[in-house]
Chains A and B, each alone.
Chain A
Amino acid sequence: MAEGLRASIRQRAPIPLEAELACAPGELLALVGPSGSGKSTLLRCIAGLHTAEGGSIDCNGESWFDADASINHPVQARRIGFVFQSYALFPHLSALENVAAALGGLTFAERTARARELLARVHLDGLEDRKPAALSGGQQQRVAVARALARDPSVLLLDEPFSAVDQVTRRKLQQELARLRAHLNIPMLLVTHDLDEARMLADRMVILHRGRTLQAGTPDEVMTRPQSAAIARLVGLHNLFEGTLVQDGGGLKLEWLGHRLEVAIIAGNTGDRVSWVIPPEGVLLHRRERPSRGEAENPVSGSVQDCLRLGPFTQIRLVPDGGGEPLAFSVPTHVAERNGIAPGAAARVTLLAESIHLMPWETPDRPEHD
């Protein structure tokens, strides 16, 4: 019996979807994508709140939906815990009654006891009798989480659960979720458009764009080794360039603006056009007076286009000699000052061969901003 959740969803309308995902018990999978990418619809399909045209969904070996076999279990039969973006608490019921509402099949005393226990678990003891309107946004979210867990669900679905609260509360709730999930041995799906949130909370993430799942992997994998330039753009990577593979000294190198860059992992043929990306951490500034020994590794000279001081760090954009898009990286502010970094100043950096990631070349297709 396959453990965990597997979903494969296909539909043409109202939102085109062609998505595949798998989530193991105890794993938190983030569905990330811009708004309108279909991530909430995908979550609704899994919950049974929306029926797709094709595909299948199964959880712990039980088929919840199979378009070919005409299986479509109603939402009530799927045993899901769903935290809605707006929380969707029942406004006429107290916090306790909201949680107890999901505890069908128990006696009144059992329901009350269990609901109290769940509310205590999300640190809401003492507020059981309050109606949702008398609770803060963060407290409402906690009630929604307690209610979602009340049914002892087979899968927990969280639809942008932190989007309606202020940043301080958001951090607090994110930490609480991180603590709570450690005790949950069920698949957990988190829909978010916030990459930092996904990076912080998720074990793995799936990038969704225009209804298609583009890449699944650990946040680190997806953020540093995107499978395509489109994914690199979607996850907000700045240093995205194009180059060509060339034979140099018995091995392949990446040719870019006249530089021949060493790349740790490189495969392909001479003449292949590639897209490549380097995270800001892979760009090292050379000291002005004393060039470091590391300068032998992919040195690139250029002029500073702009530098932006952001507290203890300064963000630098360096236009390489030979033109092209600037390289973005950041250094501690005192390092920038000591090296005379200012707009127009000349500077030299190393591009770490380990950090350069190559991707198949594709026609630039910038994602729409919505």
Chain B
Amino acid sequence: MDWSALTLSLQLAFATTLILLPLAVLLARPLAWRAFRGKSLVEALVALPLVLPPTVLGFYLLVALGDASVLGGLYQSLTGRALVFTFDGLLLASIIFNLPFAVQPVQRAFDAIPREVREAAWCCGMTRWQALWRIELPLAWPGLLSAIVLTFAHTLGEFGVVLMVGGNIAGETRTVAIAIYDRVQAFDDHGAAVMSATLVAFSFAAIAAINLLGRRVGHRG
């Protein structure tokens, strides 16, 4: 069992979820409630990582984040670190390829909140922020939970994009999915099996948790 790979995967999953969740809320609310020009385009862009082969997405990210790129160059000059083949780049890529997994459930959850309920919060004197904290987020909680679990589990399991953008550097970019591939290449079936079982167990627990919570929320309704 490659513990450093598992730790790195967990770190990446935590950081991605932590950064992506507020971003998803910020993006999902206008997508759910407002009609604006270019909305379909934004929705299509958010959904793109769902349909693109990970290697294609990884290739474009590699190009966009490379030292020669504007973004890569800027990051290098600001932090002295590169974006490709580093944890930072991996995190950025992870945020991008997880966008649909975070935004879509949150958008559906906000969409399900009746307009009148939000307006009632304002009529009660709540500011937009108070309405968000006290009414909207608690009501959108099942969607937020789905987003958390899906993002976390998907980050743990992502392979193609991680390999393209991060490569396979132990302690820096070698995630558990890469480590499993590595073990198989090295004919270490036992190591691959243990790590695979760990991923399966986690994914199963995640889906079970969503179902359980969904049912509890349904009963509460």
Give the interface of A toward B (CB within 8 A).
Answer: 47, 49, 74-76, 79-82, 84-86, 88-92, 101-102, 104, 131, 133, 147-148, 150-151
Contact = CB atoms under 8 A, between A and B. Distances in A.
Interface string B202-221: 00000000000000000011
Contact of B139 (A74, A75, A76, A91): A91
B123 interface: yes
A361 to B, nearest CB: 43
Contacts of A79: 125
A160 to B, nearest CB: 12
Nearest to A157: B123
B190 interface: no
A133 B221 contact: yes
B135 A76 contact: no
Given A84-B120, A133-B221, A151 B138 contact: no
Residue among A74, A79, A102, A148 with the highest chain B CB neighbour number at 10 A: A102
Interface stretch (B19-27, B96-104, B111-119, B159-167): B111-119
Contacts of B120: 82, 84, 88-90, 147
B121 interface: yes
Given A82-B123, A147-B124, A88 B117 contact: yes
Nearest to B113: A91
A85 B121 CA distance: 15
Contact of B124 (A49, A86, A101, A133): A101
Contacts, number: 64
B136 to A, nearest CB: 10
B127 interface: yes
Given A88-B116, A91-B139, 14 more contacts: A49-B119, A74-B122, A76-B126, A80-B123, A84-B120, A85-B116, A86-B116, A90-B117, A91-B117, A92-B220, A101-B121, A104-B124, A104-B126, A150-B124
B221 A91 contact: yes
A156 to B, nearest CB: 11
B191 to A, nearest CB: 46
30 contacts: A47-B123, A49-B119, A49-B123, A74-B122, A75-B123, A76-B122, A76-B125, A76-B126, A79-B125, A80-B123, A81-B123, A82-B123, A84-B120, A85-B116, A86-B116, A88-B117, A88-B119, A89-B117, A90-B139, A91-B117, A91-B139, A92-B138, A101-B124, A101-B135, A102-B123, A133-B221, A147-B120, A147-B124, A151-B124, A151-B125
B39 interface: no
Contacts of A49: 119, 122-123
Contacts of A147: 120, 124
A315 B176 CA distance: 84
Interface in B49-80: none
Contacts of B130: 104
Interface residues of B, number: 19
B186 to A, nearest CB: 52
Residue among B117, B120, B138, B220 with the highest chain A CB neighbour number at 10 A: B120
Q: Which 4 A-B residue pairs are closest in the complex by CB-CB distance? A: A102-B124, A88-B116, A88-B120, A82-B123
Interface string B126-153: 1100100011001100000000000000
A240 to B, nearest CB: 38
Nearest to B141: A92
Contacts of A131: 220
Contact of B126 (A47, A82, A101): A101
B215 to A, nearest CB: 15
Nearest to B135: A90
Contact of A104 (B117, B125, B135, B220): B125
A111 to B, nearest CB: 12
A81 B119 CA distance: 12
A268 B121 CA distance: 55
A102 B123 CA distance: 8
Contacts of B126: 76, 101, 104
A82 B126 CA distance: 14
Given A88-B114, A101-B134, A75 B220 contact: no
A86 B123 contact: no
Nearest to B116: A88
A230 B119 CA distance: 35
Nearest to A104: B125
Contacts of A81: 123
A75 B119 contact: yes
Given A92-B139, A101-B134, A104-B126, A84 B116 contact: yes
Contacts of A88: 114, 116-117, 119-120
Nearest to B134: A101
Contacts of A86: 114, 116
A208 B132 CA distance: 35
Contacts of B127: 76
B140 to A, nearest CB: 10
A131 to B, nearest CB: 7
Contacts of B125: 76, 79, 102, 104, 151
A49 B126 CA distance: 13
A47 B117 CA distance: 14
Interface string B160-196: 0000000000000000000000000000000000000
A103 to B, nearest CB: 8
A102 B125 CA distance: 6
